[in-house]
Amino acid sequence: MKYDILIEKLSLSRTVGVLTGAGISAESGIATFRDPDGLWAKFNPAELASMDGFLRNPELVWDWYNYRRKIIAESKPNAGHYALATLERLLPHTTIITQNVDRLHASSGSKNILELHGNIIENHCVRCKKPHTDHIDFEEKSPPKCSYCSSKIRPSVVWFGENLPKGIFEQADMIARQSDVFFSIGTSAEVYPAAYLPQTAKQYGAFLVEINPTHTSLTPFADLYIPAKSGDVLPEIVELLEKEIR
């Protein structure tokens, strides 16, 4: 069988790491940023995903994020998301490290998730950093004000020029170093520091699996490259694993 080695490695594993990127969410209808017709081809990231852009034109940025929130609110996890949630139930030592901000992994039932770039669901104050938990009106054109200091509220995503959430990459790096099997799914493996993680996992002896419809710079280093969409292959892999460990 074509996945025999992978199933054997998974069944014997003590730690499994999974890095996911925009490709898995694209299967739920959420546009990626780097495709020729993706979001960065239509919008300037410096204006819409940076603190400078937000301070220059908070209404434009807030309206754009509300536009994205609407798309996410209308989207559902796909077969790839659900398969990873099942993988975690079968192998509780599985951790999903995601570059995505849509929270679809959590919606599908995954529990062990590290959000490298934050998420678009939560919000916080630009000045005092306190969380903003009030309901967000997608039709509101201007960002609400903080109830503590009256400064503007922003989405809790990592913008260009900002650091990742404190300690998050260190946790992800530890998972990569400890992994017996490490998946890179739906990511170009070009956005750093996330792109270091598959390389680190490979360096520390993990069986490296890449699932992506197209080749990336990581492909030559993968122990197993599966040129397909995650929603097409992950359910099959998880089903085979379930039969193996049953």
DSSP character at residue 192: T
182 and 224 both lie in a single domain: yes
Each residue's pLDDT expressed in tens, for the chain with a length of 246 residues: 689 999 999 999 999 999 999 999 999 998 765 554 555 456 676 788 899 999 999 999 999 899 889 999 999 999 999 999 999 999 999 999 999 999 999 999 999 999 999 999 999 999 999 999 999 998 888 999 999 999 999 999 999 999 999 999 999 999 999 999 999 999 998 889 999 999 999 999 999 999 999 999 999 999 999 999 999 999 999 999 999 998
Question: What are the b/e assignments for 74-113, b being 16+ CB within 10 Å?
Answer: ebebbbbbbbbbbbbebbeebbbbbbbbbbbbbbbebeeb
38 and 19 both lie in a single domain: no
* Secondary structure (3-state) at 161: coil
Count of C-beta atoms within a 10 Å radius of residue 59: 12
Peptide bond before 193: cis, by omega within 30 degrees of 0? yes
37 and 128 both lie in a single domain: yes
- Is 215 annotated in the active site? no
Residues 6+ apart with CB under 8 A from 7: 1, 237, 240, 241, 244
User: What is the domain-level CATH number for residue 99?
Assistant: 3.40.50.1220
26 and 91 both lie in a single domain: yes
Distance from the first to the final alpha carbon of the chain = 18
Count of C-beta atoms within a 10 Å radius of residue 165: 16
Side-chain-facing half-sphere of 90: CA atoms under 13 Å: 23
13 and 43 both lie in a single domain: no
194 and 177 both lie in a single domain: yes
Annotated catalytic residue, options 81, 117, 132, 135: 117
13 and 92 both lie in a single domain: yes
pTM equals 0.93
Residues 6+ apart with CB under 8 A from 151: 125, 126, 127, 128, 145
130 and 188 both lie in a single domain: no
Residue 80 · residue 191 · CB < 8 Å: no
Q: In the chain, which residue ranges form alpha helices assigned H by DSSP?
A: 4-11, 22-26, 39-42, 45-48, 51-56, 58-73, 79-90, 104-107, 168-178, 196-203, 230-245
The amino acid occupying position 77 is P
21 and 90 both lie in a single domain: yes
Q: What is the domain extent for residue 68?
A: 32-74+123-157
Domain count, the chain: 2
Examine the fold and report which residue of 103, 134, 157 is the final residue of a domain before the chain moves on: 157
47 and 99 both lie in a single domain: no
194 and 104 both lie in a single domain: yes
Angle at 78 between CA 22 and CA 49, to 5 degrees: 30
207 and 241 both lie in a single domain: yes
**Phi, psi (rounded to 5 degrees) for 211:** -120, 110
